[in-house]
Structure 1
């Protein structure tokens, strides 16, 4: 999850024709985690009067955000947020540059390393695959999570404390449900059955840190009754996990 991650940010007030000429920014982060956490931080920003500082903050994709803000100078809002240190936790996590406008004079950077795939939004369904070996997917089979190159299962990722739609960040508490179990009278949840043991499914709801889904699950080869010899299974490895991603 670490490296360099980019987001375009665009001013979109419909009653201001200058939205076509100004208010374009490129934000650079050390990771996608930091970008999503900044988005949540901007959503929560208030003015001195208690109003939302951003009157619109819309994720078109995970790397393209549109915004409007309270009266003042709307084109530089993200710059002012940094100058004021309005979100001090992000002082060392991102920077921004103003992109070319109608007056020109600034270069337009090329977006590097675009993220391909859906935004990680609460209450949506996703495939889970290996980040380094993207042909390896989670597959729900007979109460176990198999790592497969030929089959895959979608999983519902849901915040256990928040029902509305919003981007998920690493500290969120989530449940993971295979979609094949949705709509049944008894829910089925992916469960960590002790460190080093295979992931199982259970009717008992288990809450994960969203971040644990990405780096605390490993793979083990095992002979399991009912499965082909040497099948790969997902296993709980909080300190030695592989890297996973939602797609």
Structure 2
């Protein structure tokens, strides 16, 4: 990525981890000016899916290393890198032993097994510098169930949202998209008891955000 405007030369933006970025600039004030232009909407190359960030980006000056507080300004977080088209296990943040798992044609919850899922943007985005984009809460995404190669059937199955129950299913439905931010409260837990008295719980997409928080 290279950005030039007036006397600002901002280039080689690289994301090193979920929390750390690196860049090259010719002036001490280039980054602040770039963020000002992003927030004001003066930077035309910002993708449509990221324009909700305008007005929400800020910059804070840090002291020299020998004058800084003894604790880290940005504490290390144990989280996955939410990059488009990568695969993840999905678990309940408050009950980490509870994972999403394939159960017939549905996605259920289990403390003994887990399945892997690919998360990708519903609308294909161009790669930046040969890298897939970072997923943000407002992105419309789709899920694909990724099975181990040892299975005899298809290795992958697109998941759909059941129009009546909100459960995830491999049966083709009208809708296969939801906001990436739905992992933060958009999927509730629905438990059903069968004729044998066995209870099965399912992650269920709902319109409100008072459901569970799910980690990737």
* Structure 2: runs of 5 or more not aligned: 41-52
Aligned to 2:4: 47
1:8-56 CA distance string (max 9 Å, x none): xxxxxxxxxxxxxxxxxxxxxxxxxxxxxxxxxxx6x84337xx95321
- Name which of 175, 179, 190 aligns with 2:146: 179
RMSD: 3.2
Is 1:119 the counterpart of 2:72? The answer is: no
Aligned to 1:79: 32
**Alpha-carbon offset, residue 142 of structure 1:** 0.6
Aligned residues: 194
TM-score (ref. length: structure 1): 0.65
1:208-230 CA distance string (max 9 Å, x none): 222224321111111247x9711
Aligned to 2:108: 146
**Alpha-carbon offset, residue 156 of structure 1:** 0.4
Q: Contact conserved, 2:146 with 2:156, CA < 8 A, in 1?
A: no
**Alpha-carbon offset, residue 175 of structure 1:** 1.2
| 1:120-139 alignment, distance < 5 Å | 120-139=82-101
* Structure 1: runs of 5 or more not aligned: 1-42
Is 1:59 the counterpart of 2:15? The answer is: yes
1:134-192 CA distance string (max 9 Å, x none): 22111112111111111111100111222531111122222101111899779622222
Aligned to 2:201: 232
Q: In structure 2, how many angstroms separate the alpha carbons of the residues matched to 1:48 and 1:160?
A: 33
Task: Judge which range, 205-214 or 144-153, deviates more.
Answer: 205-214
Q: In structure 2, how many angstroms separate the alpha carbons of the residues matched to 1:110 and 1:156?
A: 33
Q: Contact conserved, 1:196 with 1:237, CA < 8 A, in 2?
A: no
Q: In structure 2, how many angstroms separate the alpha carbons of the residues matched to 1:196 and 1:53?
A: 52
**Alpha-carbon offset, residue 68 of structure 1:** 1.2
Q: Contact conserved, 2:9 with 2:30, CA < 8 A, in 1?
A: no
Q: Given the superposition, is the C-alpha separation of residues 54 and 180 from structure 1 closer, same or farther in structure 2, using an over 3 Å criterion?
A: farther
Match of 1:211, SS? helix
* Higher share in helix: 1
Q: In structure 1, how many angstroms separate the alpha carbons of the residues matched to 2:176 and 2:148?
A: 15
**Alpha-carbon offset, residue 85 of structure 1:** 5.0
Q: In structure 2, how many angstroms separate the alpha carbons of the residues matched to 1:80 and 1:93?
A: 12
1:83-108 CA distance string (max 9 Å, x none): x454245545544232425xx44446
Task: Judge which range, 107-116 or 211-220, deviates more.
Answer: 107-116
| 1:204-215 alignment, distance < 5 Å | 206-215=176-185
Q: In structure 2, how many angstroms separate the alpha carbons of the residues matched to 1:129 and 1:76?
A: 42
Q: In structure 2, how many angstroms separate the alpha carbons of the residues matched to 1:130 and 1:143?
A: 21
